[in-house]
Amino acid sequence: MNLNIYDFLMGVIISIVLLFFVLFYHIKLYKNHSFLKIWVAGTGMVILGFVLSLFASVPSFRPYAIMSSNLLLILGQGVYYISLKSFFEDKLKFSNYRSALFSFLLIYISVFSDNTTLRMFSTSIVLLMFSAFVLRLLYSHRTSEIHRSISFLIITYWINISFWIFRVLFTIMVLPSKPELYEFIVLLTDLSALLPSVLGSFGIILLTNQKLSSMLEKEKIKFSNIIDISPDLVVVTKLYDGKIFHANKKFIDKLGYRFEDIQNKSTLELNIWNDNSARNLFLNALVECETLENYEAYLYTKEREPFLGSISSSKIVIEDEQYVISIIRDVSDLRETEKKLIESEQKYKVIALSSASWEAWFNENGKLIWTNEMIKHIIGYSPNEATKLEDIFKDIVISDNLASLAKEYKYALSSRISGKNEFLINHKIFGERWILISWKKIYDSNNVFSGYRTSTIDITDQKKAELKASELANKLKIEKEIAEKNSLIDSMTGLANRRYLEQRIMYEYARMKRNWSNLSIIMIDVDFFKLYNDAYGHVQGDICLKTIAATLRSTVKRQTDLVARYGGEEFVVLLPETDKYSANILADNIKTNIENLEIEHMTSTISDYVTVSIGIATFTKDCNVSCEDLIQKADFALYEAKKIGRNSISHA
């Protein structure tokens, strides 16, 4: 009979070993879930406790085997409780110290007592307590999302509790009169201790998968909601076959389909693209660039009505499969409007050029041979005066523009092309004026080049407007740069402000997680600064803060570090890739350098000079602190520094 029970227990252990492999796979799959590692540790303790109990049959090892086995079985059950508590709660808190003290006393008796009955009784009670703690934890966190796995674990622990109650009663009522049943009860104890290991491990795997499935489903719903509320057309398709995974109502309504019409249909099957080559062009551009912005292509509705779509797309991965999320805007009306504007502008330019004041003819050598009367309005010369000049442009164009004009004109004659250009001239009456010259080639009846026809207009007012616009644009640019700088800089101290600090903390936190580096934050507070302001006035208080800011800037030397004013008399130093030891050295230098300023502070209760309190918090990649809580850790350390008397340094 004993052999069969031991064989059964060994079979259970083999099952647990197999579960070990499953658990290790889940640990590798869900690296951030530390509770799985804790559970595996508890299972290892229970198995080791059972193995050691087998040595109790050897007289020389019996006392040590019983002590070690009891301790490991109890610790294993306790670790199970810690594992489940860490799964349900972000931070482990144990506030019931009386229960902890009572459990420690029972564990001591279970391990070191020489009285068999007392040892079995205390072991049963402490294991019963741990099972009850787990059961209460499971009941308090039972939700619809993980109902099945929680119910499975609850049944497992009810069975476990029932056995420990039976063992307590058996130890009190039966064992004293029938000590020969001791070995049998020990085997049943091992079996009951192994029960949470086998069924519990199965339940914990089920719990993990069920919770992650619930989280994934919520993320899918969020993803769908974001797409559905978008004012643009949004569609998610598989990368290579173009099958529609999801589309919002705007997309479906625009194309004239119903949702059931597009399910599991590709964009080619629905004739959304003009043809396969159009989609291939889009797909090749996406594969090459990873993301596309404002890619324009004609798309088609169910009734084959085309519209010009501006497509912004990016590749995403959903359940290990590549998809494309595309945001589409109908820009047909926009492009039509732009076309009309261009046509209107061209018409305007033609009218403006044809109504230009100066129309003239030049022969193939560049000599003026005919001009209209409006030449006097443009350059101040009469037609007779102009035709007598060998090179009219040499006489009117400002000397700085002559080289450019000569080059343009020589090129025009040699290549015999049409064109236009702007020049600054010296008007005979009004002085400096800007003109725009347009020229066109002329051929005689034999198609031989015979010169140019020119049309010239005065654009002085336009150039002045452009100059003013340019000056205004530069002014606005400078004002924008100043505004952007002011939005990130504290105006009084010249340090980075709180807004910029928070942006940098988010960036450095992500970089720390990615590069396996350290990140330290130093928070500094001027001691009794309100008293300083009351005694010396706010103007002197501002001078004091500026002096401290300058000292911080000179003390913190690395280009990668950031000194910021957090608010009031508080400053923060952000130290990427800095461990606790280095941060402490820098904090001590800051404290010393500020004391050495010897800024008088007669109302301070700790010194005759201005001093500071400093809190330090250092973080590593493995820390569980969220990015938003980093500064709070340093603030807590600062609070501790103030609490111990100020003018001191404290670590979180």
Residue positions annotated with a catalytic role: 569
Cα dist. 88→3, 20, 207, 210, 600 in Å?
41, 22, 11, 14, 54
SS3 164: helix
Token output for 642: 């103030």
579 phi/psi in degrees, rounded to 5? -85, 180
Name, in order, each residue with C-beta under 8 angstroms of 237's C-beta and a sequence gap of 6 or more.
243, 244, 245, 266, 267, 323, 324, 326
Cα gap 166→158, rounded to integer Å: 12
> What single letter denotes the amino acid at residue 473?
A
Beta strands in 147-198 (DSSP E): none
**CA proximity to 130, closest of 42, 34, 15:** 42
Please, which contacts does 588-595 make with residues 24 or more away whose CB atoms are closer than 8 Å? Answer: 588/649, 589/555, 590/522, 590/524, 590/551, 590/552, 590/555, 590/556, 590/614, 591/647, 591/649, 593/551, 593/554, 593/555, 594/548, 594/551, 595/647
SS3 620: coil
DSSP 576: E
Cα gap 261→251, rounded to integer Å: 13
Q: How many CA atoms lie within 13 A of 197 on its CB side?
A: 32
**Adjacent-strand bridge partners of 314:** 291, 325
Cα dist. 154→131, 320, 413, 609, 634 in Å?
10, 34, 98, 64, 41
Name, in order, each residue with C-beta under 8 angstroms of 97's C-beta and a sequence gap of 6 or more.
none
Cα 577 from chain centre = 19
Q: Which residues of 547-571 are buried (b: 16+ CB within 10 A; e: fewer)?
A: ebbebbeebbeeeebbbbbbeebbb
Residue bearing tokens 């993301």: 291
DSSP 349: H
Token output for 496: 């980075």
Total residue count of the chain as it appears in this document: 652
